[in-house]
Structure 1
Amino acid sequence: MKKFLEALEKIQNPGTFCTSGEIPSCFLGLEIDKVGPIGLPLSKEQAKKIIKQSHRAPYGKGEKTVVDTKVRRTWQLDSGKFSIHNPEWNIAIEGVIKNIQIQLGLEKNKVSAELYKLLVYEKGDFFVPHRDTEKLDNMFGTLVIVLPSEHKGGQLIVRHDGQEKKFDFGHKENKYLTHYVSFFADCKHQVTPVTNGYRLCLVYNLALANRKQQPVAPKYGTDVKVIGDILRKWSNDHEPKKLVCLLDHLYSQAGISFDRLKNVDRTRAQVLFEAARESNCEAYLGLVTLWEAGDADVDFDDYSYGHCDDPDGYEMMETFDETLSVNHWQNAHGCKKNFGEIDLSADEIISKEAMNEREPDEKECEGPTGNAGATLEHWYHRAAIIIWPKHCHFDVISLAGKEVTLPELKKMVQSWNKSKHEKNNDAYKQCITFSKAIIDQWKSSNNNYEHDDPEVKQLLTVLIALEDVDLLKKFVKNVLVSDFTGKEGKQIVKICQQYGWITFQKELTLMLEQEEENKCSKFAQILEHLCCQKIKSDKNRLKVCRSLATKMLQCLLKWDLNKKRLESWRQPPVDRRVLIESLFKTFLSIDQLKLLESANNHFINNPGIYNMHKTLIPSVQNLHPWLVKQNLNLSVYVRLWKHCVTYLKSSVAPIKKPTDWFQNIRISCSCSDCKELNIFLKNPIEKEHRFRVRKDRRQHLHNKIEKHDCDMTHITKRVGSPQTLVCTKTRNTYTQKVKQREIDLRLLANLEKIKVVIEV
């Protein structure tokens, strides 16, 4: 992009041909001769009174001043016929003038504003395209202030050097606001017809003091064309994906806005926005951040462990990590855009210097920790104009991630739904394009934590509203297969009903072939919805559900019998209670008793996986109310119930209280300390024993006591050398058994209350 950078560097003069803004709320104190004080927003009654005191506004035609309502139709009051009494208004105008000086590139000049006239546009009034004549010495431009007045139409359009800006202050939200527009006198401008209400405005003539040659509007039409041509060619090639044009001056996150851009930055930004518009590209102002981390070049005497007092005193030797991103977006009108943080690549940056050639905006230093040396972090911030082709808009903003894109897509679909709900309009096409981009950029979520409304479910809900089967298949294949949470059951039933159960069978089967063990219980929840939800009978539904149920059981057996998988700390825990309940409901609902019998045998025969108290007993209790309502075969359930009851009956026998301190535990170690510990364990009389040994031997004893679950406490008495490990026997094991027996008695009573009916 060498030509692009060269074209950008040629733009050196600050300033634009036209600028606008809003004046903070200020009571005007406007009074008109023979009318009196004027209230704002302007009322219909007072507008008519002002018009009675006004005359038709003339315009300059050569050396003459004429009135011709075919060219200009509006009402005018000369400045001598009205007055402004609030002194704060002059202060507000001074603030406006300062902004105009900055925006028009006149910061080094003294600008004055002379009140010229008051204009009232009623329905049908307008002013055709024209240029203002100079009405006083050193006049260079015009300031138009549109006062609060409800109206429609009456747009002010300013053109110069092939560029055009439109200003419409007739919207309802502007009824109570005061706006201004300022432009050079050589700019052609017009006022479109007012279609309703009254448009009230003040006109000021702008002049420069002590300047012989008056400034004219800067011309950047050629620059816009050159850069626009480059953008059009790049848009077709589309490499790189974005162009990030760095600006020269420094701006903070709080201080970045189009109105606050300085000197030539403002001009270049304006040219880039205009060139992007003409070449069918998107353009936004944003804050680019480069973060670098590297080794700090410091001496050991210069820092304390884990801390660096002054990061400015150190240099970064070698960078070992960095990120480049953009955030804090605004469009050409200063409206903030929630595109979030988007990663950038170095080849997308357009600048004559690298970001890290300047001094960092922020520095942090961290002293050595463990085996790592001192590290230094640098942050560099630069304002930039970011450009990409319109046809790639959704591809780009989808890079911001689900947290940003999902709410935005939801708004777009809701907006389309509120319209005519037509599938051929642009709004619908944009929703489809954005949806595809989100799916293509989808990154798997961390589903280790439960969410009431997971992102996958949110996206599926939005896609269902768009009623596009190809889009849904793309979603199921690219997103749902690997990132489902178990909460998508109702939505999957809905799309299978609408587009056919066979349509998504292949993708649903793939969901069971994922590596993560916890996917098993999550898919069981989805399968429960597919099989149990009360909907119209469908032979394909039964076929698909039975096929998935068979596959489900196969995967369950494979997952459970893989000991390595069970021992992996990386895998999130499986909720086996939910798994059992879902499979019982699923297999019974589709009349698959053989599958249920196999699953039940697996549950009963693997107590190390399916814990009696945490899994089996709660499942029996939770399933009973549902089974009774369904009027289904209870034989398999009865077997599980009997298994739990039998276990509990064997667990509630009275527990004999120990009468001495004997513990039937043998420590599997032949060292002298462990031999002494074994003797202590077997001693029925000795409750406390002391080991006066060095630290490593105390630690060894500690480990053995913990490993063998010895019923004792072990505390180091830090007196003398070596210190003493004091071991005191307890009866915690007996106490725990008593508590567990009480729990088991209650559980047994609850299970025996369940009236089990065995079908013959």
Structure 2
Amino acid sequence: MAGTARERLAELLGDLDEEPAWSVYHKLFMTDLSVSVDGIGPLRFPVSEEQSVRLRELGRRARFGRGEETLTDPEVRDTWEIPKELVHVEWTAAFGTMLEVMRDELGLPPHCELTADLHSMLLYETGQFFVTHQDSEKDDSMVGTLVVTLPSDHTGGELVIEHRGQRAEYRGSKVAVSLVAFYADCHHQVLPVKTGNRITLTYNLLLTGDSGAAAEDALAEEVAACLDEHFATPAVLPYGRGQTDPPTRLAYLLDHEYTERGLSWSRLKGSDAARAALLRAAAERAGCDMTLALAEIQETWDAYADDDEDSWYGDDDDSPEEDDDSADDGQYVLQDLIDSSIALAHWVGPDGQLEEISLTLRDAEVAATVPTAGLTPYESHYEGYMGNYGNTLDRWYRRAALVIWPRSRGFASRAQASSRWALDELGEMIRAGKVAEAREAAQSTEPFWKAAVHATPGKELLGRALPVADGLDEAASAATLLRPFRMDQLLPEHAPAFAALAARYGDIWITALLRDWFDAWTPANYGYAPEPPAWLTGLPRLCAAFSATGSAGATTAVHHILGLSWKWLADGIRPLLTEPSTSSAVAQLTRLGEPLSGLVAAAAESGPTGVLDDVVTLAGQADGDQGIALVMAALRAARPGSEGFDELALGCAERIREVLARPQRASGDWSIELPAGCACELCRTLGAFLQDPERRVLEWPLAQEKRSHVHGRIHLAELPVLHETRRQGRPYTLVLTKTDALFREERLARERGEADLVWLTKNWAVPV
């Protein structure tokens, strides 16, 4: 038997009774079924050509579902559907008995009832078919499909069903009623009818009763022992990296595929139902809780195309054989599993309702009797040879899982999967007066809480967390709960709750929390991805919301928010003000103008904080186009006459006038200043050429590496110099030519400065 507890558990579950069928076939006498159709009357078996023609006259082209759409396409489904309201079906008692037989053969528990709900009547004429597809669950209790083929004289039209690489083919009969039942996750098709007409009734198979009800089994004690050992044994890290803490959960992957609608204890299929019942009993004995979940699995395999004659593996007889279980990518030969990931996206909550979660599982937390690679992926993608990457085949699967955790770790296990649930549960504890219990539960989330919060989309989570942190009435627990959030998640509607926290826990606590939030808030690196922090533009509304609370805690919070916001923004602005004036730097500073405007407006409305003085000081230290671009963008984003901007406007106008007062470049002056930076011999030669007011062209024999260095200096500084390589002789010659853009750019800069000055005098009361 396998070594680890989870591997032994998977083997024990695999040793249950013989694998149930995933499809079953039976026949009933023609006298066990009566079918009458309005406009035709009772059908006579076998159905004659004459009645088939009359059915065709009543029929309409059958539709099929694709995603959220319902389509009609004879290239996919070519058959006629008789309106259901015209069809009347009566069975003898033999049909009910047959459903019980099928229930047992499909591995469903005897205490559950399997019933059939008529879905449609179909007519397949000669040549008609339905390509491979999977039935959608049309009812919350649906577990499968029943296809009843009426007796008729036809050939072809076989029903082909596939599941986990296995294939079954069923034909109708001329002298009996044929019944085929199969699970809803099976892929199936109807082959073209060769002669005659194939007529069927399709039913949704509905299951009532709990197919995963707890079982008393001799194996339960042994499985419970595996659970005890699993949760007590340190997990072994991959690649020989030692051990870590024991796993906090075990996810046992089931064999059948389930949709969100079909995930329910009462609709487990075949061996899944028996294994769930055994695990329920074992979990109870081991003091564990268990739920049912949906897992999204991705596997990346080293693989090559089966017909790739240039494959590195060639035709070596020792290479692994093709995975026979792969139905959709069987043309590829699998070698080694490179990587895999398993994430839980939904699970069944205590109230039986499906909950959205986000939880990534480690290998040490997963067990399966049937390896995922033995199932059919719902999607695959092959990437051919790409140098160091090799040939890879990505496969995606959906599997259900039984997730188990020790009852003593129940809150932490559920909180890690859903931060929303955790906050709601903590709120319930606090309202029930169980504050000490809530504090202990909040502290138990510390190892994973940051990842759980970051995995939750949207900004509403902070709104749930703030009142809970207040209700914990303990600084350490409240900090644990709030530390993973970011500054940009704080919205005006959060102001009352946040102000209450500031009043409750004090200045030191609120300062530390806000610093954590700013440290975690890294929307962009201004040097490479200049996306302006849009949250700062909303600071006036946020500060106004705090002021409206009228509390001392609100004032403290606002001062800290403004101070940290300015430090955060200034740290991004300063490097741009000191680097060479390029279009890229000017564009980044222009984009930062609107956030700066929001910060200034908020500081002006919130009283003395020192922020306004710091903004004016920083703007006054900036030289040239960068400082003007930043301040002009901030002023254009503000409402003319707004408080806090007058000094910025006056300083900006003064710098523009200084620039305009400089002598204009003479028509024959070709001198260019090379920005400070590298002082190598190449750059000294380049600088001397650029500074020469009369020289326009430099022909410079240089090796490739040296040419690249010169190219880089010219490109980064955006100099108006054309650089071309004349590929003659050795070394090649780098030809540098100063362009007319030198004069054009200076003219445009002067025109822009004059226009900015006119705008400032008009909108900001700047003296003419």
TM-score w.r.t. length of structure 1: 0.54
Q: CA deviation at 1:744?
A: 1.7
Asked if 2 retains the 8 angstrom alpha-carbon contact of 1:481 and 1:508, the reply is no
- Equivalent residue runs for 1:290-301 within 5 Å: 291=299
- In 2, Cα distance between equivalents of 1:471 and 1:557: 35
Asked if 1 retains the 8 angstrom alpha-carbon contact of 2:463 and 2:494, the reply is no
- In 1, Cα distance between equivalents of 2:475 and 2:578: 31
Q: Is 1:746 aligned to 2:755, yes or no? A: yes
Which residue, 714, 720, 741 being the options, matches 1:732? 741
Match of 1:469 in 2: 471
Q: Which moved more, 1:704-713 or 1:715-724?
A: 715-724
- In 2, Cα distance between equivalents of 1:529 and 1:566: 33
Determine helix, strand or coil for the equivalent of 2:548.
coil
Asked if 2 retains the 8 angstrom alpha-carbon contact of 1:617 and 1:644, the reply is yes
Which residue, 339, 351, 355 being the options, matches 1:322? 339
- In 2, Cα distance between equivalents of 1:714 and 1:468: 64
- In 2, Cα distance between equivalents of 1:234 and 1:598: 62
Q: What do the CA deviations read for 1:583-624 (whole angstroms, capped 9, x no partner)?
A: 54455445427664355323322459x942332233345556
- Equivalent residue runs for 1:126-525 within 5 Å: 221-223=215-217, 226=220, 230=224, 234=228, 240-247=247-254, 249=255, 263-272=270-279, 281-284=289-292, 286-287=294-295, 289=297, 291=299, 302-303=311-312, 312-313=332-333, 315-316=335-336, 322-327=339-344, 337-340=354-357, 342-351=359-368, 369=386, 372=388, 374=390, 376=392, 379=395, 384-388=401-405, 395-400=412-417, 406=420, 423-424=431-432, 440-443=448-451, 455=457, 457-463=459-465, 469-470=471-472, 477-478=479-480, 480-481=482-483, 483-498=485-500, 501-503=503-505, 505-510=507-512, 511-512=514-515, 515=519
Asked if 1 retains the 8 angstrom alpha-carbon contact of 2:20 and 2:107, the reply is no
Q: What do the CA deviations read for 1:724-748 (whole angstroms, capped 9, x no partner)?
A: 7665542112212222222222221
- Equivalent residue runs for 1:7-156 within 5 Å: 8-9=13-14, 11-12=16-17, 89=89, 100-105=100-105
Equivalent AA in structure 1 for residue 17 of structure 2: Q
- In 1, Cα distance between equivalents of 2:521 and 2:401: 46
Asked if 1 retains the 8 angstrom alpha-carbon contact of 2:283 and 2:404, the reply is yes
Match of 1:647 in 2: 655
Asked if 2 retains the 8 angstrom alpha-carbon contact of 1:577 and 1:615, the reply is yes
Which residue, 572, 576, 597 being the options, matches 2:613? 597
Match of 2:63 in 1: none
- In 2, Cα distance between equivalents of 1:141 and 1:369: 53
Q: CA deviation at 1:226?
A: 3.2
- In 1, Cα distance between equivalents of 2:469 and 2:674: 69
- In 2, Cα distance between equivalents of 1:291 and 1:538: 55
- In 2, Cα distance between equivalents of 1:661 and 1:616: 31
Equivalent AA in structure 1 for residue 13 of structure 2: L
Asked if 2 retains the 8 angstrom alpha-carbon contact of 1:580 and 1:619, the reply is yes
Q: What do the CA deviations read for 1:97-140 (whole angstroms, capped 9, x no partner)?
A: 776544322799xxxxxxxxxxxxxxxxxxxxxx9xxxxxxxx9
Distance 1:684 1:595, change over 3 A: closer
Match of 1:55 in 2: none
- In 2, Cα distance between equivalents of 1:463 and 1:101: 53
Determine helix, strand or coil for the equivalent of 1:501.
helix
Match of 2:633 in 1: 618
Distance 1:446 1:325, change over 3 A: closer
Determine helix, strand or coil for the equivalent of 1:241.
coil
Q: CA deviation at 1:712?
A: 3.2
Equivalent AA in structure 2 for residue 507 of structure 1: W
Equivalent AA in structure 2 for residue 509 of structure 1: T
Q: Which moved more, 1:729-738 or 1:379-388?
A: 379-388
Asked if 2 retains the 8 angstrom alpha-carbon contact of 1:363 and 1:379, the reply is yes
Q: What do the CA deviations read for 1:33-74 (whole angstroms, capped 9, x no partner)?
A: xxxxxxxxxxxxxxxxxxxxxxxxxxxxxxxxxxxxxxxxxx
- In 1, Cα distance between equivalents of 2:85 and 2:334: 61
Q: RMSD between aligned alpha carbons?
A: 6.7
Distance 1:665 1:335, change over 3 A: same
Q: CA deviation at 1:509?
A: 0.7
Asked if 2 retains the 8 angstrom alpha-carbon contact of 1:256 and 1:287, the reply is no
Q: CA deviation at 1:751?
A: 1.6
Distance 1:482 1:604, change over 3 A: farther
Q: CA deviation at 1:644?
A: 0.9
Q: CA deviation at 1:697?
A: 6.6
Distance 1:499 1:144, change over 3 A: same
Q: CA deviation at 1:536?
A: 5.4
Q: CA deviation at 1:333?
A: 13
Determine helix, strand or coil for the equivalent of 2:488.
coil
Equivalent AA in structure 2 for residue 8 of structure 1: L
- In 1, Cα distance between equivalents of 2:356 and 2:490: 27
Distance 1:328 1:15, change over 3 A: farther
Unaligned runs of 5+ in 2: 22-33, 39-83, 120-137, 145-178, 180-210, 233-245, 314-328, 524-531
Distance 1:503 1:732, change over 3 A: same
- In 2, Cα distance between equivalents of 1:517 and 1:607: 29
Q: What do the CA deviations read for 1:431-462 (whole angstroms, capped 9, x no partner)?
A: 99799869952339889xxxxxx957411223
Determine helix, strand or coil for the equivalent of 2:217.
helix
Q: CA deviation at 1:752?
A: 1.5
Q: What do the CA deviations read for 1:642-694 (whole angstroms, capped 9, x no partner)?
A: 211111112335974753474456897767x99799679858586x7777887
- In 2, Cα distance between equivalents of 1:229 and 1:301: 49
Larger C-alpha radius of gyration, 1 or 2?
1
Q: Is 1:529 aligned to 2:542, yes or no? A: yes
Asked if 2 retains the 8 angstrom alpha-carbon contact of 1:464 and 1:472, the reply is no
Q: What do the CA deviations read for 1:326-368 (whole angstroms, capped 9, x no partner)?
A: 4465659999945455322334334567767x69969876566
Asked if 2 retains the 8 angstrom alpha-carbon contact of 1:342 and 1:400, the reply is yes
Unaligned runs of 5+ in 1: 17-26, 32-83, 109-130, 132-139, 149-172, 181-207, 209-216, 448-453, 629-633
- In 2, Cα distance between equivalents of 1:592 and 1:512: 21
Asked if 2 retains the 8 angstrom alpha-carbon contact of 1:281 and 1:388, the reply is yes
Determine helix, strand or coil for the equivalent of 1:89.
strand
Asked if 1 retains the 8 angstrom alpha-carbon contact of 2:227 and 2:283, the reply is no
Distance 1:455 1:468, change over 3 A: farther
- In 2, Cα distance between equivalents of 1:755 and 1:332: 60
Q: What do the CA deviations read for 1:551-584 (whole angstroms, capped 9, x no partner)?
A: 77788888878999999x9xxx897545644554
Asked if 2 retains the 8 angstrom alpha-carbon contact of 1:531 and 1:545, the reply is no
Q: What do the CA deviations read for 1:252-278 (whole angstroms, capped 9, x no partner)?
A: 989996799664344323444577689
Distance 1:293 1:271, change over 3 A: same
Distance 1:457 1:680, change over 3 A: closer
Determine helix, strand or coil for the equivalent of 1:652.
helix
Determine helix, strand or coil for the equivalent of 2:451.
coil
- Equivalent residue runs for 1:533-612 within 5 Å: 533-535=546-548, 537-539=550-552, 541-542=554-555, 545=558, 577=593, 580-582=596-598, 584-589=600-605, 591-592=607-608, 596-607=612-623, 611-612=626-627
Equivalent AA in structure 1 for residue 432 of structure 2: N
- Equivalent residue runs for 1:644-723 within 5 Å: 644-653=652-661, 656=664, 659-660=667-668, 662-664=670-672, 682=692, 684=694, 699=708, 702-703=711-712, 705-706=714-715, 709-715=718-724
